[in-house]
A and B are shown apart, each in its own frame.
Chain A
């Protein structure tokens, strides 16, 4: 029986060596067509170190000075995508206290409390746009009037457009939470009565 155990141990060693050699061959998980959730990296790969993140040059001397993302982000509210940080909650809980003005460190935000409900055509719940969360980060002029005409019903948009980086996609999908978080926008509890169909 000891022989069996030994053989199992040797086998496991072989397996591990095999595993390492496979990793050495750089088999990319993203290239596996049958990988579950192709665009979602496993927990181990989230907030990777700068030297291995694919865009930083590992030989750059600056990497010794720069902060590692994980060190800063792990203490914030957990999120499901993007930086894996819930930035809005982190701000609400004052885990971060970003300045609102460069010259006046005590400048306070005066958030605007206005919800806009956008009827959507498909089966998803209607979109509730909350000015409150947005004005805590942004100034009116960031969105109005260049991206959104400040008038109800004046802004036509589609998910395709958003995916291509227009309208909401100017931020959502680049720095703000991506479109995979459907329900953060499509959050109306009841569907608005369709008026457009009768026309």
Chain B
């Protein structure tokens, strides 16, 4: 009973550290970046992963106006019906993704990164959270 008091504290401290680690290591349902757009107009049919467009990356480099006015992107996910032919012809993504400003179309896997079967969506949008929270990416089981 003559043990100094701090030793007991040390035990409690260890306990708390362990709990802290355990909590930190918990893998909860992580959320993709605000404004990430999943486009799956044709991807699933084409047997390729759907496209994820990260707004955050592009708005660091360009004002909204460049794409949404000059390049004619409509302000609605999936409404532009972009296909590879349009991109090859320099429309939409193809205005930059032509091998000069940004990587060109042969780098399929850099844009086509979403889980197969993910629906076209604005990930984490208010409407998705409040109105249709179950409308999140649910990968289809594909062979």
Contacts and interface: CB of A to CB of B under 8 A. Distances in A.
A194 B71 CA distance: 43
Given A18-B22, A29-B28, A102 B60 contact: no
Interface in A10-28: 11-13, 15-16, 18-20, 22-23, 26-28
A48 interface: yes
B113 A139 contact: no
A67 B57 contact: yes
A52 B115 CA distance: 11
Interface in B1-35: 1, 3, 7-8, 10-12, 14-15, 17-19, 21-35
Given A12-B14, A55-B118, A138 B65 contact: yes
A72 B55 CA distance: 12
A85 B114 contact: no
A63 interface: yes
A20 B19 CA distance: 10
A83 B34 contact: yes
Given A1-B7, A15-B15, A54 B131 contact: no
Contacts of A29: 28-29
Interface string A123-163: 00000000000001111011000010000000000000001
A141 B69 contact: yes
A138 B3 contact: no
Interface string A74-106: 000000011101010000000010111110000
Given A57-B49, A164-B127, A174-B122, A65 B57 contact: no
A99 to B, nearest CB: 5
A83 B63 contact: no
Given A4-B8, A29-B29, A60 B109 contact: yes
A36 interface: no
Interface of A: 1-2, 4-5, 8-9, 11-13, 15-16, 18-20, 22-23, 26-30, 39, 41, 44-45, 47-50, 52-57, 60-63, 65-67, 69, 72-73, 81-83, 85, 87, 96, 98-102, 109, 136-139, 141-142, 147, 163-165, 169-175, 178-179
Given A1-B3, A13-B18, A173-B125, 16 more contacts: A15-B19, A19-B26, A22-B26, A23-B26, A48-B32, A55-B115, A57-B116, A81-B34, A83-B56, A138-B63, A138-B69, A139-B69, A139-B70, A142-B64, A142-B75, A175-B122
Interface of B: 1, 3, 7-8, 10-12, 14-15, 17-19, 21-36, 38, 49, 52, 54-57, 59-66, 68-71, 75-76, 95-96, 107, 109-116, 118, 122-123, 125-127, 129-131, 136-137, 139
